[in-house]
Chains A and B, each alone.
Chain A
Amino acid sequence: MPRVPLSRGDAKESLALAVGLYLLAALYGVWLQAGPRVGDEAWTWLFARLPERGALDVHPLLPYLLLHPFARVGPEAVGFATALLAALAVPFAALAYGPLAGAFLLLSPGFALALGFSRPLSLVLPELFFLLYALRRGNDGLAAFAGSLLFLTHFQGQTLLLAALPLFTAKGRDTLLSFLLYNPLTYWEVLRLAGLFLLALEGKAGPPVLSPEGFAQGVLGPPPASLLVGALAAFGALRAREALLAPLPFLLLLLGKRLALVYASPLGALAALLAHEGLPRKGRTLAAFLVLSALAWGSLQVAQGVRQSREEVARLAASPGPLLVKEETSEPLALRLAGYRGSFCPPGRLPAE
């Protein structure tokens, strides 16, 4: 991919804009994360606090190691750290494709999903845009580093990296291979993938999670605005090289029967970028305004859902006495509940500190 030359003045201005966009994204993330942990966030905190247990999780170990110092502070610290890291996707998008692309990403529902929920998947976004930035700048070393992070962070990161390999130079691919071969986490990840594969063969891969409609709204926002974003993303897909990345994670999620709102963030972020790339030359300002409004509407819907869920958990935490936990409550669910602040179940069901 060709280097994008910048004069010193332009570079300073771009950097200042990128920093400004990062601060906005970080504030948005901190606001979304303020409150108790919901759903899988309890897992993120638990496994980051006890990485030896995280090593046996279905997710790669790297995110838990990165978040471990914050997990020792408390569950909220893990949420804030995840949001501050995920927010880095915006300045990378702005530096690679311009401030307007950064604004598209900042206001996209996919980005709000990554900021709003503290999960390993949230960290895929900054790594993806770090990779796109490095590829745009023609920096093989940085691209290889970003690619190795994607491999070690999440299944969606691994599939995105697979799709992105044609965008690497031959030297970049060699460097990526070296980075992976000299990293001990790679070997642990290969063992984990082999274990998951064997579990899948035995039919123990877990029940399917299928809500394609929710996934579509997580990617493009609610209708009818989703039509505009989807049409421009499709148009951008016909023009931009980055379109190569879009179908593979989606198809693999579909094949893996994991297709729901919570998995939509990377494809939603890519859709926002491709919508930016698909902006028409004639009437560009008006189109950009309309798409930004449509994206912001979707993002606000996500934000509203996130805030409501945190308030609901806070309300439950404030309830007197332990809440009822049915006898058939599974151990994973009991662990999730124990990740919340407050007494949700009898002490005997809590995991050991």
Chain B
Amino acid sequence: MRFLAALLFLALAALAFFPSRDDKAKAPGDGPCLEYPSPEETLRSPWLWP
């Protein structure tokens, strides 16, 4: 179990180098709702739960 935990943290350390898929999400306000952003657009932000 210890080795599994150690491997897990090493794997996560490597995984953290990949760009987060959240970053690729459309930023709030982009797209067709520029002047009147819909809450759904906002909720696609990585910090707002989808």
Contact = CB atoms under 8 A, between A and B. Distances in A.
Max chain A CB contacts within 10 Å: which of B5, B33, B46?
Answer: B5
A333 to B, nearest CB: 7
A275 to B, nearest CB: 9
A247 B49 contact: no
A305 B28 CA distance: 13
Nearest to A334: B39
Interface in B1-50: 1-10, 12-22, 28, 33, 36-40, 42-43, 45-50
Interface residues of A, number: 55
Contact of B9 (A246, A260, A324): A246
Contact of A305 (B15, B19, B46): B46
A38 B28 contact: no
A213 B45 contact: no
A24 B4 CA distance: 34
A261 B46 contact: yes
B20 A211 contact: yes
A239 B45 CA distance: 39
Contact of A212 (B4, B10, B15, B36): B15
A213 B25 CA distance: 14
Interface in A309-328: 309, 312-313, 316, 319, 323-326
Given A243-B1, A247-B1, A324-B38, 13 more contacts: A38-B49, A215-B15, A223-B17, A224-B17, A230-B13, A230-B14, A234-B6, A237-B6, A237-B8, A243-B6, A309-B47, A312-B28, A312-B42
